[in-house]
Structure 1
């Protein structure tokens, strides 16, 4: 089984599309004002994950579900995005679960986490099953 995509609500199509392009997603479907689809940069993965926006009326924004995008250098990405005009809820912080995370909201109010985890994403010391060395 593979995760195909995640779809989040958007209220202002153009603003949301611009936001996700600024994050670095590659737009592959443009059906304004109802639907947009993006590919995540592959970075050596076999198939890139996809991410979609679907227009809804009256969406107030929400803390959940929370969408996570992993980046290789969170501090550099944070600086790039702040320079591009994006506002963050919190700057990069080291977490007790060994991830480094920064939070922001998209134009529709969906909470987004940019994080850097490396091997800890799939193989933390408390993992149930094979260790990183047995993968």
Structure 2
């Protein structure tokens, strides 16, 4: 029997800043009143996403330290049209988030851009380009 991927858990340094960032992408995280340092959001198709502060998660991950360098994991958000990619990228950069890759037309026929969340995780924004 194969396991089912049903949850993504991101370790964050600043819960409020991270919740504010993902709100720009339409995700509504709810803090868990019984578990400080933990928030969750239900996504389409039964996927669940969690945020855990470093102080909450560290006791369960002995020897853990925050990674350095570029993002090794990217969360990808699809838009209905290429102009949505450009608009969301501009909104996030204007709000003070770091742009990693400005919007461009990729050779795989998509409009693509990448920003960083408050902890440096890569967030791809993409949409299919119109058929030519």
Which SS does the other structure have where 2:21 is aligned? helix
1:39 Cα shift?
3.7
Partner of 1:55: 53
Alpha-carbon distance in structure 2 between the residues aligned to 1:95 and 1:33:
41
Q: TM-score normalized by structure 2?
A: 0.68
1:30 Cα shift?
0.6
1:61-103, Cα deviation, whole Å (9 max, x unpaired): 5521221111222112223323333231111111111122111
2:68 paired with 1:37: no
Q: 1:92 aligns with which of 103, 109, 112?
A: 103
1:59 Cα shift?
1.5
Alpha-carbon distance in structure 2 between the residues aligned to 1:64 and 1:38:
22
- Structure 2: which 5+ runs fail to align? 59-64
Alpha-carbon distance in structure 2 between the residues aligned to 1:51 and 1:118:
28
Is contact 1:26-1:38 (8 Å) kept?
yes
Q: TM-score normalized by structure 1?
A: 0.67
Indicate the RMSD between aligned Cα atoms, in angstroms. 2.9
Which SS does the other structure have where 2:73 is aligned? strand
Partner of 1:7: 9
1:25 Cα shift?
1.0
1:11-66, Cα deviation, whole Å (9 max, x unpaired): 11111111111222122x313742211244x6xxxx46432212225423552122
Alpha-carbon distance in structure 1 between the residues aligned to 2:116 and 2:88:
15
Which SS does the other structure have where 1:37 is aligned? strand
Partner of 1:64: 72
